[in-house]
Structure 1
Amino acid sequence: MKGLIAKKTGMTQVFDENGDLTPVTVIRVEPNTVVALKTKEKFGYDAVVLGLDDLKPAKVSKPYAGSFPENVTPKRNVKEFRDFEAEVAVGDTVGIELFDGVRYVDVTAVSKGKGTQGVVKRWGFGGGRASHGSKFHREPGSTGQCTSPGRSFKNVKMPGRMGRERVTVQNLRVIKVDPELGVVMVCGSVPGVKDCTLIIKSAVKKEF
């Protein structure tokens, strides 16, 4: 598997050789530092730990700094990737060149927070008639029973907090990889707000 820690930049559009326009989401890939290596003999599986964004020394506690090698500056974002395909060593940097030839990717990030929402927006309920006097427009309706057990069951779709959840969007088609700008352009929606940190990996359900 190929994967890196990256950041969402925004959206733009590109034109192909036939002049067709394709809207794309721009993902900025900065060099990731190899923080640690995990082997099957010691941990039971093979993995590579990558880090991104240096932390100021004043903001690093001694226990957290002790988890990094001496030649690696403590990082703000740390992520473990199992079965990493590239051969790397502790202290090396891995960049956008990792995605050369990759056709589809999976992107994981924390989605935008929408606050407290009703059942129409949160769950897509149809609601009632919009005409005057119907007295039933956007309410959730009955949620339980008046007799035994006399309560609402778990997982009943009701109003509540929406968004701000870990989301993975799979099989995003890679339109362009620009090593000079350090960006990957994918066709499709990417979760998260602008400049959020995300995980970009080679797709697990499609060939790449």
Structure 2
Amino acid sequence: MPGLIGKKVGMTSVFSVEGKSIPCTVIECGPCVVTQVKTTETDGYEALQLGFEEKKEKHTTKPLSGHFKKAGTTPKRKLVEFSGFETEHKLGDVIDVTLFEGTAFVDVIGTSKGKGFQGVVKRHGFSGVGEATHGQDDRQRAPGSIGACSTPSRVFKGMRMAGRTGGDRVTVANLQVLKVIPENNLLLVKGSVPGTKGSFVIIEK
């Protein structure tokens, strides 16, 4: 799917024609530079590699520095491949947020906030074991029984238990595009987007 790399700026709200307040996420979307053009002849598939956000030369490895010089651009912090662009692009071409003008809905991919090691109540929404009476002084947030005894004499794989939460790749599909602001490279989408403020996101048509 054609798309761009962006950065989550934060959340705000806009007013609809009817006067309703609509919560939305502001994304700094591009401009992205074409750093590699993959073709069926050379790579076995067709795709564009896009780079986003400036990076210092001294923080870039020698192989990547040569990769960016071949494209005629400065080092970039984030590289992502996209396919399905309707128009042809060459090395060094710049694609900006105007790509989404006239687009009603987009998919946004990001990394959710990491929450560390969490119990079953926070991680899976368990209600805990019993009430606070009848000697249940330390069981309010416990997982309870996790399996039978003699049969099957083991705990099944996939049992919902305590563990590391968040920090996963999350895709939110069909977010409505509320506004495109080309002069500031901003894209406003209805609803929330995974990740923290300042984190990279991928926006696809």
Asked if 1:79 corresponds to 2:80, the answer is yes
Q: Which residue of 136, 140, 143 maps to 1:140?
A: 143
Map of 1:95 onto structure 2: 96
Q: Distance in 2 between matches of 1:45 and 1:90?
A: 17
Q: CA RMSD in A?
A: 1.6
1:16-35 mapped onto 2 (5 Å cutoff): 16-35=16-35
Q: Is the 8 A contact 2:68 2:74 kept in 1?
A: yes
Map of 1:63 onto structure 2: 63
Q: Distance in 1 between matches of 2:134 and 2:64?
A: 62
1:155-194 mapped onto 2 (5 Å cutoff): 155-194=158-197
After superposition, give the CA deviation of every residue in 1:39-81 in whole Å (9 maximum; x if it has no partner).
1222221100000122212111212223334312221100000
After superposition, give the CA deviation of every residue in 1:22-45 in whole Å (9 maximum; x if it has no partner).
111111113100001011222221
- The code of the aligned residue for 2:187 comes to V
Q: Distance in 1 between matches of 2:35 and 2:169?
A: 24
Partner SS for 2:115: strand
Q: Is the 8 A contact 1:6 1:198 kept in 2?
A: yes
Gaps of 5+ in 2: none
- The code of the aligned residue for 2:25 comes to T
Partner SS for 1:66: helix
Q: 1:134 to 1:98 in 2, by over 3 A?
A: farther
Identity %: 48
Map of 2:130 onto structure 1: 129
Q: Distance in 2 between matches of 1:183 and 1:37?
A: 26
- The code of the aligned residue for 1:29 comes to C
Q: 1:157 to 1:5 in 2, by over 3 A?
A: same
Q: Which runs of 4+ in 1 moved over 6 A?
A: none
Q: Is the 8 A contact 2:107 2:204 kept in 1?
A: yes
Which is further off, 151-160 or 65-74? 65-74
Map of 2:114 onto structure 1: 113
Q: 1:46 to 1:133 in 2, by over 3 A?
A: same
Q: Is the 8 A contact 1:45 1:82 kept in 2?
A: no
Q: Distance in 1 between matches of 2:129 and 2:59?
A: 53
After superposition, give the CA deviation of every residue in 1:58-116 in whole Å (9 maximum; x if it has no partner).
11121222333431222110000022223211001100110010000000010001111
Map of 1:205 onto structure 2: none
Partner SS for 2:92: coil
> How far has the Cα of 1:156 moved from its partner?
0.9
> How far has the Cα of 1:159 moved from its partner?
0.3
> How far has the Cα of 1:2 moved from its partner?
2.5
Q: Is the 8 A contact 1:7 1:195 kept in 2?
A: yes
Partner SS for 2:129: coil
Q: Distance in 2 between matches of 1:86 and 1:8?
A: 27
Q: Is the 8 A contact 1:39 1:45 kept in 2?
A: yes
Q: What TM-score does the superposition give when structure 1 sets the normalisation length?
A: 0.90
- The code of the aligned residue for 2:172 comes to V
